[in-house]
Structure 1
């Protein structure tokens, strides 16, 4: 038993929720050995049987959606209804990979008549899934399901900010799997680091901060593990002169304040054309002032968010709405709008990951597009415009994995865009994630006639 523990306090009022022991060094070693031993049999299991296990797990997950949503709410403060939607999204993701997995295949090659040539997909082996707190069930289900349905085994370490949610998710999924095919470890960054530096790990899939992603990439360069990294984002919203400023403000508020801005693809910086800047800011301020938000995940994160706001104000930004630290217990923070923001401010240059809408007024579409395309992150971006040529330019020129036109959220299921730059590497979700979780073996099978 580890001597270290993780204490979870309520984001609502700061009261203790529970305390859990972290995995010890021996726990990590035992988990790696156990999944490695379980790998050959699970890899030999027919794809249809692996898919059936995921279908059964999805059914169980739906049955326990209320329980998992409550745990998510208690640990992270997430709105209860949104947390339940996240659980159901996780169940849908299990079903998606249960359907896609048996269809994932290699291809035949045209070689000599006396031989058979094929490219055959095989599981990579031991997958370590390090998953986040902001949507813990949906994100975890995607990585875990894609790994399992292709014959890999998984060690899952949920974020230390939602250990009970992650543990119960592991129990729900594990009920339908052979022993040790999926092992969940409770732990902090040290536990994650011990998993990442192991030479007995074949894939490290991480959704979280850019800083941690860089450390994982460095460790994998030494061990040879494949990495799938969806890290920080600094997603821009570009607002053209020809759109309704009221509607644009609604879109901006949705993108910046949904889940308290704690979404990987939240709107992090706003570039609005000068012709509609005044009515846009007035509308956005009105929406922010009338918005009541649940708490942020914890006070440590709230300090980070408020630090970005204070830095912007000190450098000349104007507080349009919010931006003041609430008194009292918990980790609450108001919907905040800042104007007169400059590119060097952290609210525009870095990921705030909170309910902050920093606005920069631009003279024309060209300036807005150029500034929206700047920076080291490359996760997603949105453009609001009635101009088809501007929309075409935006999606072509923005160096990100996902571009949304006239909607800050949405998209068809199965999208698997690749993050770029500091935002990570590798496909996330969609059929392409199955490719990431497998490796290819080329087979040349000569016949006896070929030998003669």
Structure 2
């Protein structure tokens, strides 16, 4: 599709030229096709954003916040339509999609509140001068967002970018382009023309946008794509924010309830069919409770498979990738006690899978799987688990289940990740923005710190001019007051200093 600049998006349609074809992940049936933006359309969108940048930057912060509140209200009004599109294009259950949109509304409202409060700092300098910093928008921002939580993630980046005075080009994932178009049409009603545009397309369109010399690029997606985007930013000088893939470990200590630990592991590995950046991907369980833990985890997976609560993966391409990792692990000696087989029938379903006897030579332990797979390795000590959990290329998040405060402190200090979670795989206070490490990304992707990412700092020094310049040419400067006389002027009638 070309850029979205009106409240009504183009209707889904069959396309003759290059386009994005979407099938239902539950049935495999054709849904619709969306044309991709070509080079001319992408360049036009950048030109429009660039022309609108100065005017939007000049708008007062409170007014920008008010526009974001208007966008939040429009999103809330369109929640059911967007949730339906999310469910149809990606297979996400409707209620989960609706919850993601509610999170997007909340995020827009939060940035509407904290955006106008974003400020610089006063600096300690000479008493005869003022020194402070000013936060200014970077300019034109390209936002590349994923399909696994498409509305909530997009709202976070869009909200932080526009409330700080940037203009935005949003490229939604090619796996949910219709949702992206409608989301853009809903949100653009709140802003002046050119402030927010939606550009649809696949990797080629993303490459065009990231190499076009914009001012900031924010990407949430795979590590492979993130590495290419970081390279593009290095060439063009764009500021790059990346929240990329993870291979998040779960450490299960010997002193926890193994059934409760298995419940936490299942939540982390199987929620949204494992299609979460911070999903539990590899598990290190202490040998003292390993048997009971593994049995309980197998039961958790079997329950989900038998009650049909595991949603399909986004498409068969991802399912093939997930199953390839599982098949490799089985060939190298892992044992599937539940799942591990591609089911018969239409769609992109894959069962909740528990793999035991895994080793570090297997991709399920070293790479992001992004599917409902819990890969387990039994370890003799907590220290071994911590050492293995801290290994690898990724550095997004890690979870530790333990009753030992000493082990808690040791884990916090040792794990080289952006987020450490103790005794809960998901959760946390609002604004807990983290800095991913390794191939998992760089920069703050959420929270108040994201406002800093979308602005640049200017230092201001204001000194007083020489005293003679403060007076008109025909007005003589007053004689300086001697110190003794000044002291007399601040005495009260009783002779005590005031």
TM range (shorter): over 0.9
Separation in 2, partners of 1:451, 1:106: 32
**Structure 1: 5+ residue runs without aligned partners?**
none
> Within the alignment, does 1:63 sit opposite 2:77 as a pair?
yes
For 2:32, the equivalent position in structure 1 comes to 18
Q: Distance in 1 between matches of 2:320 and 2:467?
A: 71
User: Per the alignment, in what secondary structure is the counterpart of residue 290 of structure 1?
Assistant: helix
Where in structure 2 are the equivalents of 1:298-313 lying within 5 Å?
298-313=315-330
Local SS of the residue matching 1:281: helix
Matching residue within 153, 169, 173 for 1:155: 169
Q: 2:393 aligns with which of 362, 376, 380?
A: 376
Task: Spell out, residue by residue over 1:110-169, the C-alpha distance to the aligned partner (whole angstroms, 9 max, x if none).
Answer: 333443222110000000000000000000000110000000010000000011111111
Which residue pairs with 2:279 in the alignment? 266
Partners of 2:142 and 2:123 in 1: CA distance: 33
- One of 140, 143, 146 as aligned partner of 1:126: 140
Corresponding position of 2:157: 143
Q: Tell me, yes or no, if the aligned pair for 1:42 and 1:153 is still in contact at 8 Å.
A: yes
Q: Displacement of 1:344 after TM fit?
A: 1.3
Q: 2 CA distance for matches of 1:324 and 1:450?
A: 84
1:275 corresponding residue in structure 2:
288
Correspondences of 1:92-241 after superposition (within 5 Å): 92-199=106-213, 201-241=214-254
The aligned counterpart of 1:322 is 339
Number of paired residues? 451
Offset, 1:448 = 3.1
Report if aligned partners of 1:115, 1:450 keep a CA contact under 8 Å in 2. Answer: no
1:423 to 418, 440, 444: 440
The 1-side partners of 2:368 and 2:438 are apart by 14
CA distance in 1, matches of 2:467, 2:263: 69
1:20 shift after superposition: 0.5
User: 1:12-39 CA distances to partner (integer Å, 9 max, x unpaired)?
Assistant: 0110111000001111000000000001
State the alpha-carbon separation in 2 of the partners of residues 110 and 396 from structure 1: 34
Provide the residue aligned with 2:7 in structure 1: none
Aligned to 1:365: 382
Q: Retained in 2: the 8 A contact 1:122–1:150?
A: yes
- Does the C-alpha gap of structure 1 residues 446 and 313 become closer, same or farther in structure 2, counting only changes over 3 Å? same
Distance 2:147 2:454 in 1: 23
**CA drift at 1:449:** 3.2
Per-residue CA deviation, residues 30-85 of structure 1 (Å, 9 max, x unaligned), is 00000000011100000000000111111111111111110000000001100000
Cα distance in 2 for partners of 1:140, 1:234 equals: 23
Q: Distance in 1 between matches of 2:454 and 2:200?
A: 23
- Alignment check: 8 A CA contact 1:125 1:203 kept: yes
In the TM superposition, residue 380 of structure 1 has moved relative to its aligned partner by 0.3
In 2, distance between residues paired with 1:278 and 1:450? 83
Return closer, same or farther for 1:49/1:275 CA change in 2, 3 Å cut-off: same
Alpha-carbon separation, structure 1, partners of 2:71 and 2:298: 44
Provide TM-score, normalisation by structure 1.
Answer: 0.98
Residue 337 of structure 1 aligns to a residue in which SS?
strand
- Root-mean-square deviation over aligned CA pairs: 1.1
**How far apart, CA to CA, are the structure 1 residues paired with 2:326 and 2:313?**
15
The answer to whether the 8 Å contact 1:206/1:213 transfers is: yes
8 Å CA contact retained: 1:285, 1:337: yes
Instruction: Tell me, yes or no, if the aligned pair for 1:114 and 1:449 is still in contact at 8 Å.
Output: no
Q: Are residue 434 (structure 1) and residue 451 (structure 2) matched? A: yes
Check whether the contact 1:272–1:359 (CA below 8 A) recurs between aligned residues. Answer: yes
Cα deviations by residue, 1:260-301 (Å, 9 ceiling, x for unpaired): 000010000000011111111111111111103110000000
Are the equivalent residues in 2 in contact too, given 1:381–1:403 (CA < 8 A)?
Answer: yes
Please give the alpha-carbon distance, in whole angstroms, between the structure 1 residues aligned to 2:468 and 2:160.
Answer: 40
Between stretches 286-295 and 225-234, larger displacement belongs to 286-295
- Deviation, 1:406, is 0.4
1:346 alignment counterpart: 363
In structure 1, what is the equivalent of residue 42 of structure 2?
A: 28
SS in 2 for 1:205: strand
| Residues in 1 aligned to 2:460 and 2:380: alpha-carbon distance in whole angstroms | 59
Normalising by structure 2, we get a TM-score of: 0.89
SS at match of 1:14: coil
Paired residues of 1:419 and 1:426 also in contact (CA < 8 A): yes
Aligned runs of 1:388-399 on 2, under 5 Å? 388-399=405-416
